[in-house]
C-alpha cells in the first residue's frame, strides 16, 4: 500500500482519461512517467512495445473494474506504479464481466517482478472493496484518492472485538434505560450535517420526484379506502396531511432517514375493525381511536426505552425475504385488481374505451419506467444522459402517460380522487375531544393498543432491517431505538388530531434506497447479469423534500386531479416488481422452472445441494401463503402482526432440519464478497 500511496503523492495519477483503447491508455501513462523524468524518452518505445505485447497475450483485466498491465525491462531502473482512471470504462473481457475503469500500471527492472507480487495482492484487495471503488470514481484529485485509501485501511483493520461479536452494535443490549436511544444518537448524529450536504445532488432530485408520486399515490388510495371504512371520519386529506407532517419530522429527527413512513394495509384493516367495533358498541370512534393511539404511543416508547429493538437479532434473511415478498406481492396484486375492476364495472351502455385506455396507460407507465430504469446499463447515449433517464425514469413515465390521457380527453377516466379544497373529509374539527370517550373506554383501549404496538414494532423494525441490510452498503449506521421513539411520538400526535397512524412503508423505503444507489453491472461467463450496489447517497434532504412536496400537493389539488388512477396503478406495479429484484426468495423459486444444468453459480448453489435449496424455498413459500391467507381473512386479519412474529420460531425450528453450513449460505445476512453471478435486474 505504501508504494501505491507514494506513487499518488508523487503525481503519477491520471484522472478521467479520455481513452477508447488500451494503446491510448499506455501512451498517455508513459507520457506522464517521462514528464516526471522517471523514464528516458529514448527507451519509451521499448516499454510501450512490452506493455502491448503483454496485453496481446492475455488481457490484464483482473475484475472489479481494474486492470494491472505490467512490464519489466532493463530500460527501467526502479519499480514504478501509475494510477489511471478512465472517463468511460472499457470492455477488456474481465473474468467477472465488469468493464474496466481503473488501470494500475506496474513497471520496473527485471528483478522487480517479485516485489510487485506483494503490490498486486494489495491492489486486488483494495479494488475488491466496493466502497473504495465508489470513492475512487468520485475522487476529484490525488488528495481525495489518498483519503479514500486511508478510509479503506481504517475499515479493514483487524479487530478482535468486532470479529468476536456476532451481534451488530446497534442490536446489543445497553443494560440501562434509554441506553439504546442514546447510543443511536451518539452513533448517527455526527453525520447530520453531511446528511444535509449530501442531499444537494442531482441523484437526490431524481429520487425526490419519483418517490413524490410513488408516496402520494398510496396516500391518496389508502385515504380514500379509509374514508369508506370509517364513515369519512378519516379520509384522503387526513392521510396526505399525516404523510407530509410525519415524513418531514421523521426525516429531520430519525436515526435512519432513508426510511419512508406511510399507511400500510394491516394498519388500515385494524382501523376499519376498530370503527366497526365502535359502531357496534355505540361509542364515538375518533375519541376511542385517540385513546388507542395514545396507549400505543406509550407502549412503543417503552419498547424503545427498554432496548426491545434488540429482539430483531432473532430475525434473519429468512424472515426479511418473506416479509418483503409479501409487501411486493400486495403492490402487484392491488395494481392488477384495480385494473380488473375497471373492466368489471363497465356500464353496458358504454364502449370499452375506458377500460382499454386504462390498461394501456398502466402498462405504458410500467413499461417506460422499467426500461428507463435500465438505461444506466445501455450502450446508447452518453453517460450523464443515461444516468438522468435512469434516475428520472418513473417520473418521466408518469408525466408522459398523463399527457396521453389529457390528449385523449374524450375518454372518461378515473382520476386521482383529490379533494377540491383543504379541510377534513367530514368537515369535523381537526382536534379530537378525548373526553368524549366513556371512562371505561379509556382503559379498555389498552387491549387493542397492545395489538397495534406489536404491528407497529414489527412493521417498523423489519423494514429497518431490510434498509440496513449489508447488501445496501450503508456507512452511517442505523437507528432502531431512536426511530421507534420518533414513530411513537408521531402516533401520539396523529391520535390527538384524528390523522391515520403511519409506520415504515417497506416498498417505498426500498425504492428510496435503490433510487439513491450507485451501482455497477456484473456479467457472468454464461451471460447472467445483475446490478451490484457500490454506494448509497445517504441523506435527509430527499425524504424531507418528498414529504414537503406531498404537503404542498394540498395546494395544487386541481393539478393532481389530472393524473389518471390507471397511471398510478402502473407506478404501483413498477414499485412492486422493482422491489422483487435482489430478493433471493424469488430467485430460488425461479430455479424450479430452470434447467438444472444452467443454474447460475451463486454462493448458495455452490455450497448447498439442490434438494436442500428447494426445501428451504418451499418452507418460505408456505409461510408466505400463510401470511397472505391471514391478511386476506376478515376474521383473523387483526392478528396479522402475531403471524409475522411467528416466523421467528419457525426459522429457529427449521434449524433442526437443515445443516448449519447450509443455513449459513441460504440465510446469510448479506451476499459474500466472492459472489460473482446473479439473476438479471
Quick: pLDDT tens for 438-449: 989 899 999 889
Domain containing residue 16: 2-155
Give the pLDDT score at 544. 93
Mean pLDDT confidence for 522-548: 76
Please identify which residue in the block is written with the cell numbers 391520535.
495
Domains held by the chain: number: 2
The most confident of 125-139, 287-301, 662-676, by mean pLDDT = 287-301
What is the chain's mean pLDDT, rounded? Answer: 81
pLDDT band at 163 (very low <50, low <70, confident <90, very high): very low
Give the pLDDT score at 677. 37
pLDDT band at 51 (very low <50, low <70, confident <90, very high): confident
Q: Which of 155, 185, 211 is the last residue of a domain?
A: 155
**Contact call for residues 339 and 359 (beta carbons, < 8 A):** yes
In a domain, 187, yes or no: no
Give the pLDDT score at 530. 60
Same domain, 143 and 215: no
Give the pLDDT score at 161. 38
Give the pLDDT score at 152. 84
At what angle are helices 317-344 and 446-467 packed, to 10 degrees? 110
Give the pLDDT score at 259. 93
Same domain, 357 and 496: yes
pLDDT band at 675 (very low <50, low <70, confident <90, very high): very low
pLDDT band at 647 (very low <50, low <70, confident <90, very high): confident
For the beta carbon of residue 221, count every other beta carbon within 10 angstroms.
22
Is residue 2 scored above 60 in pLDDT? Answer: yes
CB within 8 Å of 638: residues ≥ 6 apart: 269, 270, 273, 451
Which CATH number is 36's domain given?
A: 3.40.930.10
For the beta carbon of residue 208, count every other beta carbon within 10 angstroms.
23
pLDDT digits (tens, 9 = 90+) for 204-220: 887 888 788 778 777 87
Nearest one of 652, 512, 429 to 199, comparing CA atoms: 512
Give the pLDDT score at 252. 93
Same domain, 139 and 224: no
In a domain, 88, yes or no: yes
Mean pLDDT confidence for 511-520: 81
User: Which of the two residues, 190 and 420, has the higher pLDDT score?
Assistant: 190
Same domain, 207 and 147: no
Same domain, 268 and 326: yes
In a domain, 676, yes or no: no
Mean pLDDT confidence for 635-642: 66
User: Which of the two residues, 296 and 19, has the higher pLDDT score?
Assistant: 296
User: Which of the two residues, 398 and 540, has the higher pLDDT score?
Assistant: 540
Residues of the chain with pLDDT > 70, as a percent, come to: 88
Give the pLDDT score at 527. 52
Q: Which of 107-121, 203-217, 224-238, 469-483 has the lowest mean pLDDT?
A: 107-121
Strand partners, 86: 17
pLDDT band at 113 (very low <50, low <70, confident <90, very high): low
Give the pLDDT score at 34. 86
Q: Which of 100, 128, 155 is the last residue of a domain?
A: 155
Mean pLDDT confidence for 260-288: 85
Mean pLDDT confidence for 306-310: 87
In a domain, 183, yes or no: no
Is residue 165 scored above 90 in pLDDT? Answer: no
User: Which of the two residues, 19 and 487, has the higher pLDDT score?
Assistant: 487
CA distance 26 to 17: 11
For the beta carbon of residue 148, count every other beta carbon within 10 angstroms.
21
Same domain, 124 and 241: no
Same domain, 34 and 126: yes
CB within 8 Å of 257: residues ≥ 6 apart: 195, 250, 251, 538, 539, 540, 543, 544
Mean pLDDT confidence for 213-235: 77
Same domain, 147 and 226: no
Q: Which residues are catalytic?
A: 70
Same domain, 300 and 372: yes
Same domain, 145 and 210: no
pLDDT band at 158 (very low <50, low <70, confident <90, very high): low
Give the DSSP per-residue string, 269-280: HHHHHHHHHHHH
Is residue 64 scored above 90 in pLDDT? Answer: no
pTM above 0.85, yes or no: no
Amino acid at each position: 500500500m505504501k508504494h501505491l500511496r507514494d506513487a499518488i503523492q508523487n503525481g503519477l495519477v491520471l484522472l478521467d482519461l479520455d481513452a477508447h483503447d488500451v494503446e491510448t491508455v499506455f501512451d498517455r501513462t508513459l507520457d506522464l512517467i517521462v514528464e516526471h523524468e522517471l523514464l528516458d524518452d529514448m527507451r519509451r518505445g521499448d516499454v510501450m512495445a512490452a506493455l502491448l505485447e503483454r496485453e496481446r497475450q492475455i488481457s490484464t483485466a483482473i475484475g472489479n473494474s481494474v486492470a494491472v498491465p505490467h512490464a519489466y525491462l532493463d530500460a527501467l531502473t526502479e519499480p514504478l506504479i501509475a494510477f489511471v482512471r478512465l472517463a468511460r470504462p472499457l470492455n477488456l473481457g474481465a473474468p467477472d464481466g465488469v468493464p474496466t475503469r481503473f488501470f494500475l500500471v506496474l513497471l520496473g527492472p527485471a528483478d522487480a517482478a517479485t516485489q510487485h507480487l506483494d503490490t498486486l495482492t494489495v491492489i486486488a484487495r483494495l479494488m475488491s472493496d466496493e466502497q473504495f471503488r465508489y470513492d475512487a470514481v468520485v475522487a476529484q484529485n490525488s488528495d481525495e484518492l489518498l483519503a479514500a485509501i486511508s478510509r479503506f485501511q481504517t475499515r479493514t483493520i483487524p479487530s478482535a472485538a468486532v470479529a468476536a461479536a456476532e451481534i451488530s452494535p446497534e442490536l446489543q443490549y445497553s443494560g440501562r434505560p434509554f441506553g439504546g436511544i442514546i447510543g443511536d444518537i451518539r452513533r448517527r448524529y455526527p453525520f447530520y450535517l453531511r446528511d444535509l450536504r449530501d442531499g444537494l445532488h442531482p441523484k437526490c432530485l431524481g429520487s425526490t420526484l419519483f418517490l413524490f408520486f410513488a408516496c402520494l399515490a398510496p396516500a391518496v388510495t389508502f385515504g380514500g379506502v379509509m374514508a369508506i371504512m370509517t364513515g369519512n371520519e378519516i379520509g384522503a386529506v387526513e392521510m396526505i396531511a399525516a404523510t407530509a407532517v410525519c415524513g418531514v419530522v421523521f426525516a429531520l429527527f430519525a436515526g435512519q432517514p432513508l426510511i419512508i413512513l406511510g399507511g400500510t394495509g394491516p394498519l388500515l384493516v385494524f382501523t376499519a375493525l376498530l370503527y366497526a367495533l365502535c359502531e357496534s358498541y355505540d361509542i364515538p370512534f375518533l375519541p376511542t381511536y385517540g385513546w388507542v393511539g395514545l396507549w400505543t404511543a406509550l407502549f412503543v416508547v417503552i419498547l424503545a426505552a427498554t432496548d426491545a429493538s434488540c429482539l430483531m437479532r432473532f430475525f434473519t434473511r429468512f424472515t426479511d425475504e418473506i416479509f418483503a415478498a409479501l409487501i411486493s406481492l400486495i403492490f402487484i396484486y392491488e395494481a392488477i385488481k384495480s385494473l380488473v375492476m375497471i373492466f368489471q364495472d363497465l356500464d353496458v351502455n358504454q364502449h370499452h374505451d375506458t377500460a382499454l385506455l386504462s390498461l394501456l396507460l398502466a402498462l405504458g407507465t410500467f413499461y417506460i419506467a422499467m426500461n428507463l430504469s435500465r438505461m444506466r446499463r445501455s450502450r446508447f447515449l452518453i453517460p450523464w444522459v443515461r444516468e438522468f433517464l435512469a434516475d428520472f425514469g418513473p417520473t418521466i413515465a408518469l408525466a408522459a402517460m398523463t399527457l396521453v390521457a389529457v390528449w385523449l380527453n374524450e375518454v372518461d377516466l378515473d382520476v386521482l380522487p383529490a379533494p377540491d379544497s383543504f379541510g377534513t373529509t367530514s368537515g369535523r374539527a381537526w382536534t379530537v375531544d378525548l373526553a368524549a370517550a366513556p371512562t371505561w373506554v379509556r382503559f379498555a383501549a389498552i387491549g387493542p393498543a397492545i395489538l397495534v404496538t406489536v404491528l407497529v414494532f414489527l412493521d417498523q423494525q423489519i423494514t429497518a432491517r431490510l434498509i440496513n441490510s449489508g447488501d445496501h452498503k450503508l456507512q452511517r449506521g442505523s437507528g432502531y431505538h431512536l426511530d421507534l421513539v420518533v414513530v411513537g411520538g408521531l402516533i401520539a400526535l396523529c391520535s390527538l388530531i384524528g390523522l391515520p397512524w403511519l409506520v415504515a412503508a417497506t416498498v417505498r423505503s426500498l425504492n428510496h434506497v435503490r433510487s439513491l444507489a450507485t451501482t455497477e453491472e456484473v456479467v457472468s461467463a454464461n451471460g447472467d447479469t445483475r446490478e451490484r450496489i457500490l454506494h448509497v447517497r445517504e441523506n435527509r434532504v430527499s425524504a424531507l423534500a418528498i414529504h414537503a412536496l406531498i404537503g404542498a400537493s394540498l395546494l395544487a389539488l386541481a393539478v393532481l386531479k389530472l393524473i389518471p388512477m390507471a397511471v398510478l396503478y402502473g407506478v404501483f406495479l413498477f414499485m412492486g416488481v422493482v422491489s422483487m429484484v435482489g430478493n433471493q426468495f424469488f430467485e430460488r423459486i425461479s430455479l424450479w422452472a430452470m434447467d438444472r444444468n444452467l443454474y447460475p453459480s451463486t454462493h448458495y448453489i455452490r455450497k448447498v445441494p439442490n434438494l436442500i435449496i428447494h426445501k428451504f424455498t418451499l418452507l418460505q413459500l408456505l409461510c408466505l401463503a400463510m401470511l397472505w391467507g391471514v391478511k386476506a381473512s376478515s376474521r383473523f386479519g387483526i392478528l396479522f402482526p402475531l403471524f409475522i412474529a411467528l416466523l421467528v420460531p419457525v426459522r429457529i425450528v427449521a434449524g433442526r432440519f437443515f445443516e448449519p453450513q447450509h443455513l449459513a449460505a441460504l440465510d446469510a445476512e448479506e451476499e459474500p464478497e466472492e459472489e460473482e453471478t446473479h439473476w438479471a435486474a
